[in-house]
Structure 1
Amino acid sequence: MSEVPQRAVVNDPIRFGVLGCADIARRRTLPAILREPTTELVAVAAREQAKARAFAGQFGCAAAADYRSLLSRPDVDAVYIPLPAGLHHEWVGRALEAGKHVLVEKPLTTRYAHTVAMVESARSLGLALMENLTFLRHGLHSAVLDLLEGGEIGELREVNAAFGFPPLGPDDIRYRPDLGGGALLDTGMYPLSAARLFLGPELEVVGATLKLDPDRGVDVSGSALLSTPDGRTAQLTFGFEHAYRSDYVLWGSEGRIVVERAYTPPATRRPVIRLEHEEVRRELTLPPEDQFANTLRAFVGAVAVVGQRAAETVEICARARLIDEIRVKAGQPRVRLPHEV
């Protein structure tokens, strides 16, 4: 196991290496790393050297020979991992063993037990470990929480949250069970996280359904009903076979809060909160924010305190537990991945 990389000066930028050349890395995360003064892009690695070189040329960094050689670089403090979900457990573990802080695309792993193990490993090594679930870092949702706490819609009774989009290309990795594909792990994370944000940590899964594509062997849509001990509920819908939808509705005793484009807004979008009280409707428009940049700043903060904030790790594990529970309630066995024992 390698020692944690030491930066020469505390205020030096966090030096990132990237494992994988996914589209989300190209479109959102790597541009944010380049823009942020507290982060620096050092190198990228891919399964195909030509792809790594192309990415490196686009973003002005080095191309590592492979994943292992990138992890061995002494000039890399942290690793961003946008690999398919089924590869996260292996490469998050390898990155932590190499002494690197880790920012990984959601989900952290495809299994609750593996997620807990990775969180514990990061804690014991004094390393930061964070899911790149960026929407939670957008100030829009803090503004909604402030409205709730201020009694804008009375007592919150129900959260209805949905995230779905049309079918993917036939070769998309999210259709591959061996790579941890499926709608629950990809799109289900968003409405689930919104439900926990607004209803708190005591949510339990009451029922769930997952629609399996028999030809591909992955779930392509699903829904779940969750409840708190005092009877407040969350209804979640997600999938790959819908017209685009990305929203949540908070239904209270005195009104509703409606947020559209809730999970993946462009950095230039001015988010709108719609407030509904009987026949009266009004809108609050907020300034635009780059939630990817916000997440990078939070990650840099976690690195600066040498390790993982307790609240962050609790939330990561709680999401993983609920994902497992949804699968169990839906009666769908989890696909065993090639590297698992």
Structure 2
Amino acid sequence: MTHARWGILGAGDISGFFARALPQSELGRLHAVGARDTGRASGFAAEHGAEIAGTYDDVLSRDDIDAVYIGTVHTTHVELVLAALEAGKAVLCEKPLGIDPIETDAALFAADEAGLPLIEAFKYRFGPFPELLRDLVSGGGLGEITDIETTIGFTAPTREGRLFDPATAGGAILDAGCYPVSLAVGVAGWAGHDPGSVRVVSATGAIGETGVDESAAAVLDLDGIRARVRTSIVADLPRAARIVGTGGTLEVPNVWGSRSESTASAILRRPDGSVEQIETATVSPMAAEADATILALRDGRTEAPEMPWDETRATARLLADWRRALG
């Protein structure tokens, strides 16, 4: 089997996790690294065994790159997505794809025009557990879904850097809150609800001294399903989800998994009082999302079923409305 050749754009922390995950993928291997600072790209390439290093343009201009992973700051995502698609590359872009719906739509339109895969890299969507979750919800295993509760939050070690910088679209909602919003959108879609019929019912939050949202909560209406989401970059919150249906409640203590291991377990509580412990195998979620990108490329698809475009669009709309509600 010939492995697809990956280029990584961005030599930061998240790109390092992707580079370490690629050897566990079945379909791709790291070939090149691009960064604004070529010295940093060279150091990253040497550390992770990439043959090529240079600027973003250097990597995108090469004929021996099949796909690129974009791991840069939020505000550069769409610029690099458009350049990569124009260069004929499949794209796996870190979340959020765009910082607002206009950017997101522009990126998806460009991928559609190019006929190339563009996948928003919500890694928790890839692997055995999310596949089980999709089947459980879509198959009616929880009955009619009525409520979703999900949270994510951490205490940043310092109030400096991209997380606290408005110029790089910092803040809790775009950096972490996108996870619970995208999960709620996904569950609603798997349950047969319209991903286009979503709105923010109410929102609260705290804006810090640097001007970004440091913590926030929202109530969402997802075509009749009520979702409550919370996020923070200044306080630790559970990495959990609770999905309530007329036929049972699913509790997932670690719904997001980690950068190196996918989610493994959940608890299913039935209305009759019975309890079922659900266990699945785990994988490297970043390797799994890389393989989903290459599968789409080989199949001639622009989307991956794990993170379809209508859910990317709905998530972008809700994030923008949530941020707008906080002023």
TM-score by length of structure 2 reads 0.89
User: Which deviates more from structure 2 when the two are superposed, residues 246-255 or residues 53-62?
Assistant: 246-255
Q: Distance in 1 between matches of 2:53 and 2:13?
A: 19
Q: Distance in 2 between matches of 1:92 and 1:50?
A: 23
Q: Deviations over 1:81-108 (max 9, x none)?
A: 1000011121111222222221110111
Q: Deviations over 1:125-153 (max 9, x none)?
A: 12211111111113213323434455554
The answer to whether structure 1 residue 295 and structure 2 residue 289 are counterparts is: yes
Aligned counterpart, 2:3? 13
Instruction: Extract unaligned runs of 5+ from structure 2.
Output: 190-194
User: Offset of 1:269 from its aligned partner?
Assistant: 6.5
Aligned counterpart, 1:224? 218
**Pick from 224, 230, 244: which aligns with 1:237?**
230
Mapped contact 2:240–2:256 kept (Cα < 8 A)? yes
Q: Distance in 1 between matches of 2:152 and 2:300?
A: 34
User: Offset of 1:280 from its aligned partner?
Assistant: 4.1
Mapped contact 1:271–1:286 kept (Cα < 8 A)? yes
RMSD: 2.2
How many residues align? The count is 318
Q: Distance in 2 between matches of 1:64 and 1:144?
A: 39
User: Offset of 1:309 from its aligned partner?
Assistant: 3.0
Change beyond 3 A, Cα 1:143–1:65: closer
Change beyond 3 A, Cα 1:154–1:96: closer
Aligned counterpart, 2:37? 48
Aligned counterpart, 1:208? 203
How do residues 72-221 of structure 1 correspond to structure 2 at under 5 angstroms? 72-149=61-138, 152-200=141-189, 201=195, 202-213=197-208, 215-221=209-215
Amino acid in the other structure paired with 2:71: P
Mapped contact 1:105–1:133 kept (Cα < 8 A)? yes
Mapped contact 2:129–2:263 kept (Cα < 8 A)? no
Q: Deviations over 1:228-267 (max 9, x none)?
A: 44x4300011111222421100123354210011113364
Q: Distance in 2 between matches of 1:313 and 1:110?
A: 15
Q: Deviations over 1:149-172 (max 9, x none)?
A: 555544322000111111243333
Instruction: Extract unaligned runs of 5+ from structure 1.
Output: 1-10, 333-341
User: Offset of 1:175 from its aligned partner?
Assistant: 1.4
Change beyond 3 A, Cα 1:103–1:257: same
Aligned counterpart, 1:7? none
User: Offset of 1:310 from its aligned partner?
Assistant: 8.3
Task: Give identity over the alignment, percent.
Answer: 31
Mapped contact 1:122–1:307 kept (Cα < 8 A)? no
